[in-house]
Amino acid sequence: MPAGRPSPYKPELARIAQRLCRNGATDIEVADILGISVRTFYRWCLLHDEFTAAVRVGKDAADDRVERALYQRAVGYDYTAEKVVTPRGGGPVAVPYTMHVPADVRAALHWLAIRRPKPWARLPEPPATDIAAIIAERRQRVAIETDRKAREDRQRFTAAVAAEVERRLAGP
Protein backbone atom coordinates (compact mmCIF):
# COMPACT_ATOMS: atom_id res chain seq x y z
CA MET A 1 0.00 0.00 0.00
CA PRO A 2 1.46 3.38 -0.97
CA ALA A 3 2.34 5.76 1.82
CA GLY A 4 0.88 9.23 2.14
CA ARG A 5 -2.50 10.79 1.63
CA PRO A 6 -4.78 9.17 -0.99
CA SER A 7 -5.19 11.03 -4.27
CA PRO A 8 -8.34 13.15 -4.62
CA TYR A 9 -8.61 12.03 -8.27
CA LYS A 10 -12.03 10.80 -9.41
CA PRO A 11 -12.98 9.87 -13.00
CA GLU A 12 -15.66 12.60 -13.12
CA LEU A 13 -12.88 15.18 -12.80
CA ALA A 14 -11.71 14.13 -16.29
CA ARG A 15 -15.07 15.22 -17.75
CA ILE A 16 -14.87 18.55 -15.92
CA ALA A 17 -11.32 19.11 -17.17
CA GLN A 18 -12.44 18.28 -20.72
CA ARG A 19 -15.23 20.90 -20.58
CA LEU A 20 -12.88 23.49 -19.13
CA CYS A 21 -10.26 22.84 -21.83
CA ARG A 22 -12.94 22.94 -24.53
CA ASN A 23 -13.85 26.42 -23.27
CA GLY A 24 -10.22 27.55 -23.59
CA ALA A 25 -8.97 27.17 -20.02
CA THR A 26 -5.20 26.83 -19.55
CA ASP A 27 -3.61 24.06 -17.50
CA ILE A 28 -3.15 26.50 -14.61
CA GLU A 29 -6.82 27.55 -14.76
CA VAL A 30 -8.03 23.93 -14.90
CA ALA A 31 -5.89 23.04 -11.88
CA ASP A 32 -7.17 26.09 -9.98
CA ILE A 33 -10.83 25.26 -10.71
CA LEU A 34 -10.32 21.60 -9.74
CA GLY A 35 -8.68 22.77 -6.50
CA ILE A 36 -5.33 21.12 -7.16
CA SER A 37 -1.82 22.36 -7.85
CA VAL A 38 -0.46 22.52 -11.38
CA ARG A 39 2.06 19.86 -10.37
CA THR A 40 -0.82 17.54 -9.38
CA PHE A 41 -2.56 18.33 -12.69
CA TYR A 42 0.51 17.20 -14.64
CA ARG A 43 0.92 14.15 -12.38
CA TRP A 44 -2.70 13.15 -13.11
CA CYS A 45 -1.97 13.54 -16.82
CA LEU A 46 0.87 11.05 -16.41
CA LEU A 47 -0.93 8.59 -14.16
CA HIS A 48 -4.51 8.57 -15.52
CA ASP A 49 -4.95 7.89 -19.22
CA GLU A 50 -8.63 8.89 -19.22
CA PHE A 51 -7.71 12.27 -17.69
CA THR A 52 -5.00 12.84 -20.31
CA ALA A 53 -7.38 11.86 -23.13
CA ALA A 54 -10.10 14.17 -21.80
CA VAL A 55 -7.72 17.14 -21.56
CA ARG A 56 -6.40 16.44 -25.05
CA VAL A 57 -9.91 16.15 -26.56
CA GLY A 58 -10.98 19.38 -24.87
CA LYS A 59 -7.91 21.27 -26.08
CA ASP A 60 -8.36 19.91 -29.61
CA ALA A 61 -11.95 21.19 -29.67
CA ALA A 62 -10.81 24.65 -28.53
CA ASP A 63 -8.02 24.67 -31.12
CA ASP A 64 -10.49 23.69 -33.85
CA ARG A 65 -12.79 26.54 -32.84
CA VAL A 66 -9.92 29.05 -32.97
CA GLU A 67 -8.81 27.65 -36.32
CA ARG A 68 -12.31 28.13 -37.77
CA ALA A 69 -12.49 31.67 -36.37
CA LEU A 70 -9.07 32.54 -37.84
CA TYR A 71 -10.13 31.15 -41.20
CA GLN A 72 -13.36 33.18 -41.15
CA ARG A 73 -11.42 36.32 -40.23
CA ALA A 74 -8.92 35.63 -43.01
CA VAL A 75 -11.56 35.31 -45.76
CA GLY A 76 -14.21 37.68 -44.36
CA TYR A 77 -17.78 36.82 -43.42
CA ASP A 78 -21.33 38.16 -43.06
CA TYR A 79 -23.58 38.02 -40.03
CA THR A 80 -27.08 39.17 -39.19
CA ALA A 81 -27.45 41.96 -36.66
CA GLU A 82 -30.43 43.89 -35.35
CA LYS A 83 -30.89 47.60 -35.04
CA VAL A 84 -33.60 49.00 -32.82
CA VAL A 85 -35.43 51.95 -34.38
CA THR A 86 -38.35 53.97 -33.15
CA PRO A 87 -40.69 55.02 -35.96
CA ARG A 88 -42.90 58.08 -35.54
CA GLY A 89 -45.98 57.33 -33.63
CA GLY A 90 -44.93 53.82 -32.62
CA GLY A 91 -42.86 51.83 -30.22
CA PRO A 92 -39.35 50.46 -30.77
CA VAL A 93 -38.93 47.99 -33.63
CA ALA A 94 -36.00 45.59 -34.15
CA VAL A 95 -34.85 45.69 -37.78
CA PRO A 96 -32.51 42.88 -38.91
CA TYR A 97 -29.70 43.71 -41.34
CA THR A 98 -26.62 41.96 -42.72
CA MET A 99 -23.23 43.14 -41.50
CA HIS A 100 -20.10 42.36 -43.56
CA VAL A 101 -16.69 41.86 -41.94
CA PRO A 102 -14.02 42.22 -44.64
CA ALA A 103 -11.10 39.83 -45.01
CA ASP A 104 -8.08 40.55 -42.81
CA VAL A 105 -4.74 40.39 -44.61
CA ARG A 106 -2.75 39.67 -41.45
CA ALA A 107 -5.05 36.80 -40.51
CA ALA A 108 -4.76 35.40 -44.05
CA LEU A 109 -0.95 35.60 -43.92
CA HIS A 110 -0.92 33.91 -40.52
CA TRP A 111 -3.22 31.16 -41.79
CA LEU A 112 -1.06 30.57 -44.86
CA ALA A 113 2.18 30.63 -42.84
CA ILE A 114 0.79 27.79 -40.71
CA ARG A 115 -0.90 25.76 -43.45
CA ARG A 116 1.67 26.30 -46.22
CA PRO A 117 4.93 27.22 -44.50
CA LYS A 118 7.25 26.77 -47.51
CA PRO A 119 6.04 29.74 -49.59
CA TRP A 120 4.37 31.77 -46.83
CA ALA A 121 6.52 31.46 -43.70
CA ARG A 122 7.57 34.82 -42.28
CA LEU A 123 11.06 33.66 -41.45
CA PRO A 124 12.94 31.93 -44.22
CA GLU A 125 14.29 28.54 -43.34
CA PRO A 126 18.01 28.70 -42.61
CA PRO A 127 20.11 27.07 -45.29
CA ALA A 128 21.29 23.57 -44.53
CA THR A 129 24.79 23.96 -43.11
CA ASP A 130 27.50 21.63 -42.05
CA ILE A 131 28.81 22.73 -38.65
CA ALA A 132 32.23 21.21 -39.34
CA ALA A 133 32.54 23.33 -42.50
CA ILE A 134 31.56 26.48 -40.58
CA ILE A 135 34.14 25.79 -37.87
CA ALA A 136 36.85 25.06 -40.44
CA GLU A 137 36.06 28.26 -42.36
CA ARG A 138 36.14 30.38 -39.17
CA ARG A 139 39.44 28.79 -38.08
CA GLN A 140 40.91 29.59 -41.48
CA ARG A 141 39.76 33.24 -41.17
CA VAL A 142 41.29 33.50 -37.69
CA ALA A 143 44.57 31.96 -38.92
CA ILE A 144 44.76 34.42 -41.84
CA GLU A 145 44.07 37.38 -39.53
CA THR A 146 46.65 36.14 -37.00
CA ASP A 147 49.29 35.78 -39.75
CA ARG A 148 48.55 39.30 -41.04
CA LYS A 149 48.92 40.79 -37.55
CA ALA A 150 52.17 38.85 -36.97
CA ARG A 151 53.61 40.20 -40.28
CA GLU A 152 52.66 43.77 -39.33
CA ASP A 153 54.22 43.34 -35.86
CA ARG A 154 57.44 41.94 -37.44
CA GLN A 155 57.65 44.88 -39.86
CA ARG A 156 57.15 47.41 -37.04
CA PHE A 157 59.76 45.62 -34.90
CA THR A 158 62.27 45.49 -37.79
CA ALA A 159 61.71 49.19 -38.53
CA ALA A 160 62.13 50.08 -34.82
CA VAL A 161 65.35 48.03 -34.54
CA ALA A 162 66.75 49.61 -37.73
CA ALA A 163 65.92 53.11 -36.43
CA GLU A 164 67.61 52.35 -33.07
CA VAL A 165 70.71 50.96 -34.79
CA GLU A 166 71.00 54.08 -36.99
CA ARG A 167 70.55 56.33 -33.96
CA ARG A 168 73.30 54.55 -32.04
CA LEU A 169 75.70 54.49 -35.01
CA ALA A 170 75.16 58.18 -35.66
CA GLY A 171 76.42 58.85 -32.18
CA PRO A 172 75.93 61.79 -29.93
Give the model confidence (pLDDT) of 27-73 as tens digits: 999 999 999 999 999 999 999 999 999 999 999 999 889 888 888 98
Contacts 24+ apart (CB under 8 A), 106-113: 107/70, 107/73, 107/74, 108/74, 108/75, 110/70, 110/74, 111/70, 111/71, 111/74
pLDDT-derived band at 126 (thresholds 50, 70, 90) equals low
Q: What is the pLDDT of residue 172?
A: 67
Query: Are 113 and 122 in contact, with CB atoms under 8 Å apart?
Result: yes
Query: pTM of the prediction?
Result: 0.55
